Structure 1
Amino acid sequence: MLKSMRNNVKSLSWTLWLVILAFIGFIFVQWGSGRFESEGLDRDVAAVGRHKISGEEFQKNLGKSLEMYSKQFKNSLTRQMINQFGIAEQVLQGMVSGLIIQGEAEKLNLDISESELQDAIRAYPAFQNEGKFIGSDEYERLLAYNQMTVRDFENGLKKDLLGDKLKELVTAGRVLDLNMLKEEYRKENDKAELDFITFKSDAISEEPASTEAEQLDFYQKNKNLFQSMEKRAGDVLALKFADFKKEITLKEEEVFAYYKNNKSVFKVPGKTKISRIWIAYDAQTREQVLKQMEDTAALLTPDNFAAKAMELSGEENAKNGGDWGYWGWQNFSNQEQSMINNLKQGEISSPVDAGQGFSILFAQEKIAEQQENYEAVKTRIKSIMENDKLKKLTGERIAAIYEKINAADNLKQGAGNLAEKVTATGLLTRGQAIKGIDEMGYISQKLFTLSENELSQPLDFPEGIAVVRLTKIVRPEVEKYEIARDKVKKELQAAKKLQLQLARARSVAADLNMLADPGKLEAYLKKENLKPEAITYQRGGSLGDLPATPGLDETIFAMDENLYSAPLSVKSTAAVIVKLKSKKIVSDGDFNKERDGYYRKKLAEAKNSSFGSYLLSKKSAYDIRFNAEVFEKIKEYVISKFR
């Protein structure tokens, strides 16, 4: 419990998921485009200014996080889920964010004194018993039981406290409007228990017929449905990396020198899998437990270790045969880790005094770190070096003419001998691909951030580097009927289907409201092939996975109980009938009773949000470097044990 809390909940109180997610969006996109350099990093994964994140530290944190997630998912965590959730990226970005917080605190001369640290330890909920601190001996025992050293815990706590102190400083003076707070309270606490039945328009497979006159009439009455999207056009100078490949040469000695200078990067990390039997002792039972463990160790073999662990071990992993996997053991005591380092594969240790407990360790698997030879990685090195040179050369070519382009009347005029590479984009929607230039839509995305005639800064996109000048904006407007005819027909058919479903829903609601007998009600629903869904509804919510509907709050909380409503239309997608089973509506008196506590809670959330924005605003002040190769190798290695 303590370990999970320290590693995952408390630490995020100041690193903030908001910051992590926003930074992932910034940093990993930039890393992917090659904007962050890896210069000065050897076996380190990343650096923020002068502070580095070692591969070992990242590997340890990622391993611990994955073990925590695996427990949450009841050992069903897969590689696909790890990649989908971006867990490795979240772990690293949390570490990067922590270093930025540390840097900002240093600028402001913030620190945590020894007395502040001790006060925080004494007030820490996990170290309280009946409102009092449990004492130093019990504190150290509890940390040891959770595979934490005092130094590691206190260093982590100091970082947390420093982040909290910085957050309080930059968010001081933040207040909340009481009227808005009351509305938020109502939104969170007004609840209704509902059954609802959905009649989706697309459940009608046959397309309703429509005449030209009907379509024209529908168009005239619903012109707002047929607005064109905003479009923008520009001139773009895109220099592709591939165009400069002929100018890049790599000599064999250069490639080999890179290998020699970065040899440690090209290593397959070693791995050790450990199982443990652990029995706690106190001052009275120490000798007795030691004798028991010595007798046990004498009878242990690799074949019976798991069974003995399940029988004797006094920790959670006993149910797994004492298996701590490849990473969990890295939080064991120094004495245990020293023993593990000296064990060979298949060996079982003698009892080790781990502090408040004796352990017996079994090295299930032990594979030494292996150096990849030059021939095995030469192709990979050539690709890395070629990409680095191409990015540098392409960036230099753009930079050499950028000021001329900016000063010129148009992009072609300023591009000089690169004028032939300037292309008119034509009108584009946001994110639309430019065929033959930018298939991912990076350039058109940029167009929508510019003012008319503004020139962008050099823009990285997957195939190269570009500059773009916005030349034209076409605002949204109602499309002419002739252009929108197919869309009009489709929307009219959807509207007709919705009307059919509204009529059916109205009939079903009337029938259901007349059926009091549960058996007849169930039989009716079965005959009509209908299945009510039950939900707890809160203000601002929606009905299941249906889109949010304006006015839904007022409708639901005004309903009579235990009667199906008149049908509601959810855009053009569905008709819905709702039965209110019960509701709870809070009063001003309820709010006043909880106002102070609720205010503190919401103020803390607001400060977290403000702190996140503050940190995002500071990111550009830091030289952030990233070693993509080390990151990927460690990530792949750590997740390799998952199916």
Structure 2
Amino acid sequence: MLGTMRKHATSWLIKVACFAIVIVFIFWGGYSYTEKKASRVAVVNGSYIGLREYQSMYSNLVEQMRRQFGRQFSSELVETLNLKGQALDRLINRRLILTEAGMLEFDVSREELQNAIVSYPAFQTNGQFDSLRYQQILRSNKLTPQDFEANQREDLLINKVEQFITRGTKVLESEMLSFFHHTRDRVNLAYVQIDPQDFKNQVKVDEAAVRDYFDKHRENYRLADKRNILYVRFVPQDYLAEVEVTDQEIEEFYQLHQDDYREPKKVHARHILFRISEKAKTAEIQEILDRAKKVLDLARKGDNFAELARKYSDDSTASKGGDLGYFKSGDMVKPFADSAFSLKKGEISDLVRTRFGVHIIKVEDIKEESVKPLAAVKETVRQSLKEERSREIALQRADSFIDLSRALDDLQKAAAEAGLEVKESGLFAAEEPVPQLGRHPEINEIIFALRSKEISPAFSIGDDQLVAQLVEIQDSRLEEFAEAQERVQEDWITEQSEVLARTQAQEWLETARQEGNLAKVARRNKLKINKTGLFTTVSPAPPFGNQRDMVITAFSLTPEQPVPSEVYEVDGKFIILQLEDSQPASENGFQKEKDSLAKQLLQAKKEQTFSRWINGRRQQADIKMLQEL
């Protein structure tokens, strides 16, 4: 296959190949088909799932979530989403689907495989397939062309099975209409909020009741386990002076990462904007277009473009003669960018319509796509390589220090021998930040798994490596009443105020249902009445948030029965609702969206069909776990 791609490296097929193979590495990761028998995690109908294969899938799922959630990503999220289970499930499903492909005698031709591979945006240099780059990328992912192509062949077989299983899926017009109204109908609600905080002054403290509350909720007043550690920190910055990087290493890195130093094509342009409001009528639009054409004629006759921009442009750049400076294609809305990047230096565009209005564009200068020369980035590359290697040294030093600490059975003695600084955290609970180190749940997990005096493995905080020894354990215990009395009393008062608030809310609800008028109840009891404004089931308004039961209730209310039968609780407050207005989506709107609705529902039904099929296959399959993950 690689040979075929080399031979046809200038064909139109190869010219469209680029980035998607990288996506394959990110989301699948590739694996060798020569996994050893000793490294197996599960068996599916006699087909083994290897540990390396599983680890690759798991790592890729974690990386997906890390990119998706950004700063919100954490080890707790990994647990909540059960990524370990998801990774194994995906591999099991993959085995079952490939088994089905064999039973159906599906195959992938060399032509299909080549077409699939060259349709990925991956291995280009200056728009042409680069076999050297192909090999470099595969090597950097520890993947051979044979393994990569085998994985691609499997993906194509899986797609064929999915298409086969879902081939008879259809969408009825009644389903589209139901879905249209479910997602497009709108309602407006009136509501009042009853806050238990407002009832606290009605609660009279009963000491016997408070003590009884404490006895019934003893676990609420348990002091958490705490730990204290000594630790040594290995900072990569401290090892930079030890690192030497050769010119040859810099050049090799540069050649492999040229895309990092690629400067995209840029255009320096001016423009004149004739702004058109979204609400502008046809006559007004035509008047603006006529005015724009006259200015375009002046520009093409040689009038100074900058002066024309100052005089006629509605854009904020008018004072600068319409100057936009240099910009990349993606910096501008598509119609504007398409026009600007199609012009030669000095050329003036036709009228260009965008969501802002109508533009006249003049290109002042063009900077073609280029790659920064090695000389320009040499020191940046050198520093990058030095930092990478200093991180490796920090990890190596941490590992060596672990060996010394465990040999001496004492981190402090090992640090003294190695000339390293030791710090002490002080006591902290599993859910608390580690003093001086901050909140790192994965580190707390490591520390709380240690035995007394045990030396930890190396763990990371940013680029730094840390090694710790557990030096103190404070076991969990239940507090005595005297220790927790103030908090117990406050908790009891809170509970009683919630009871009062709920009881009162229920009374007001019954009155509102009898009278059919929440506003009257609110006025009599000096309650603030709020309005949600119109909303749909897919964009619920405050105070609903993710309270799906409230949303479902809201769309079941009618003018004859505008108040629901229950009080809802959201964020500790009790809520009474009443229907104010409902607006069904129009038939005209359905006709306009019919095609897109059909596509959405067809895709959803296909996914449901395939999911049901795979679940059925799983129930029939012989699946065994071979080791705990």
- Tell me the TM-score normalized by structure 2: 0.45
State the structure with bigger RCO (CA 8 A, min sep 6), 1 or 2: 1
- Tell me the TM-score normalized by structure 1: 0.44
